[in-house]
Copies of this chain bind each other. A is one copy, B any other.
Amino acid sequence: MGENMPTLTAKQLEQITSRIFEAAGVPADRALQVATSLVESNLVGHDSHGVIRIMNYLRYLRTGVVDPHAEIEVLQETATTALVDAHWAIGQVAATKGMAMAIEKARQSQISVVALRHCGHIGRLGEYAMMAAEQGLMGAVLCSTGPACAAPYGGIGRVLATNPIAVAVPAGDRPPFLMDVATTVVAEGKLKLARSKKEPVPLGWILDKEGNPTTNAEDFYAGGVLLPFGGHKGYALCLLVEILGAVLTGQGSGSSPAWRGGAGVVMWAMDLQTFGPLAQFGSGVDALFEGVKAGPTARGVDEILIPGEPEFRAKQKRLRDGIPVPESVWQDIVREAEGLGVQVTEELAE
């Protein structure tokens, strides 16, 4: 490991993360699940959703926002639907169970929808959409988050949230299509990063608390707002996520004074074979992607990418070369680990 940017294998990082959560009181199977989920985010290149979150998650456990032993309860169920109360379980555990249910139902009944309320932070939505795509189904996930930090189109107040959406569709020989986006211009993590680096953000990301456009991320933290992406169209998507994730699930809105964290999640799975042979669909998707990629590129652009390709490539590279962890994050992890009695050097030596 280099001294300024430790590089670990996915397996090492999973093992350390898992031991940390076990030591913090999470049952072994759930600890492993959340560890695998966080490291998967690092593998696909989304470090903002990776092991950097260990510290937040430990705080949720310590403050009781998340209950490591919560029983995930299915409140209502049909052949095609389920309503689930996660009772503030670790989000990854709840969301994985939700998508597994959706996939099982879609296999039997072609299409399904599962709504979950009272989940802890579920991490990167793309992970759950990909569960479906990896099994030859289409998967879609939306998640109402909080606290409110985003303005509606035409507004300047904090009434919505980053409300992400993910959709994955399998291809043939090519990697699946994976769209995984906040419905705000950016997720809040990018503001945090700009603020810590004291760098300006592009105009159009945020407004200050008086509603003026600004490039200073500090203005967001002083009562400003994130904007929906793509004007009134992204606003409509952001509000749709709020309707389904907050109201339909019974989670409640991130703008409500009663909001206590966590996520309301809606997940769909769809069996594509009902419309024809999967191999035929896959080769059609491959051909479409190849046509898109073969088109002329804009100046300064080397390659047209299919959504999901950057993640696929990052994962191949990091499985091969390891996952670099910034020194400051690594020090935080080691400190937390040792505070919980987990000897990181021993874990690495195993």
Contact = CB atoms under 8 A, between A and B. Distances in A.
A237 B183 CA distance: 12
A162 B154 CA distance: 25
Interface in A129-173: 151-160, 167, 169
Contacts of A305: 153-154
A295 interface: yes
Interface in A102-120: 109-113, 115
A295 B81 contact: no
A292 B80 contact: no
B236 A179 contact: yes
25 contacts: A76-B274, A78-B109, A80-B110, A109-B109, A151-B295, A151-B298, A152-B304, A154-B304, A155-B292, A156-B297, A158-B295, A159-B291, A177-B239, A179-B240, A181-B233, A181-B236, A211-B296, A229-B230, A229-B231, A230-B230, A230-B233, A247-B284, A248-B275, A253-B288, A255-B291
Interface in A271-326: 272, 274-276, 281, 284-285, 288, 291-292, 295-299, 301, 303-307
A295 B78 contact: no
Interface in A227-247: 229-237, 239-240, 242-244, 246-247
Copies held by the complex: 2
**Majority DSSP secondary structure for residues of A touching B:** mixed
Contacts of A250: 275-276
A249 interface: yes
A79 interface: yes
A83 interface: yes
Q: Pick the most buried of A111, A151, A242, A270: most chain B CB atoms within 10 A of its CB.
A: A111
Contacts of A179: 233, 236-237, 240
A159 B229 CA distance: 23
Contact of A274 (B81, B230, B303): B81
B81 A297 contact: no
Nearest to A212: B299
A107 to B, nearest CB: 12
A243 B133 CA distance: 14
A295 B152 contact: yes
Interface string A71-83: 0000010111101
B83 A110 contact: no
Given A111-B81, A292-B160, A154 B281 contact: no
Nearest to A209: B296
Nearest to A248: B275
Q: Pick the most buried of A79, A151, A155, A249: most chain B CB atoms within 10 A of its CB.
A: A155
Contact of A154 (B78, B240, B270, B297): B297
A157 to B, nearest CB: 3
Q: Pick the most buried of A169, A179, A211, A230: most chain B CB atoms within 10 A of its CB.
A: A230
Contacts of A244: 169
